[in-house]
Amino acid sequence: MRYLLTILCLILIWGCRKVEVTPTPTPKVEDIFSVKETSITNGDPLKFTLKSEGVYTLTLFDSVGQQVVTRERIIGKIGENSLKLYTKSLPVRYLYLSLEDENSVQIGKTLLIIN
């Protein structure tokens, strides 16, 4: 009986040990406009691919009221472009990001979820 109790205690102790779980980081999106929505934090880079050089307009607007929060003109280059988005001063958590070319033709649009 004592032998059985010892084995049960050892099994109980072994079963209660802490299991190491390493969190896997969420993969960053290569092209921000290739997905419908993405989660970002302050200072995250926004990467997008352009087919031609030129002046482009990036617009952040509220997902509910559709009011423009900020608009910026950038000089885009062919290939991958990257900008950092600082979110601490943004008033809302869900924003649409829109990219338009010189002729106001929308190239891409995605929903940003601010963490």
* Each residue's pLDDT tens digit, 71-107: 999 999 999 999 998 888 887 789 999 999 999 999 9
Residue 19 located in a structural domain: no
pTM flag (> 0.85): no
Q: Does residue 9 lie within any of the structural domains?
A: no
Write out pLDDT tens, residues 50-61: 999 999 999 999
- Beta-carbon-side half-sphere exposure of residue 114 (alpha carbons within 13 Å): 19
Which range marks the domain in which residue 107 is found?
A: 28-114
Q: Report the pLDDT value the prediction gives residue 27, as an integer from 0 to 100.
A: 55
Does residue 1 sit within a domain?
Answer: no
Q: Is the pLDDT of residue 66 over 60?
A: yes
Per-residue H/E/C for the chain? CHHHHHHHHHHHHHHCCCCCCCCCCCCCCCCHHHCCEEEECCCEEEEEEECCCEEEEEEEEECCCCCEEEEEEEEECCEEEEEEECCCCCCCCEEEEEEECCCCCEEEEEEEEEC
pLDDT given for residue 23 in this prediction: 66
Two structure tokens written together for 108: 């891409």
Please give the Cα distance from 39 to 91 (Å, whole number).
Answer: 16
CATH of the domain at 75: 2.60.40.10
| pLDDT tens figures, 16-46 | 766 677 765 555 657 999 999 999 989 899 9
In a domain, 8, yes or no: no
Identify the pLDDT of residue 109. Answer: 95
What pLDDT shows up at residue 26? 56
Quote the number of domains for the chain: 1
Judge whether 11 lies within some domain.
no
Residue 75 lies in a domain: yes
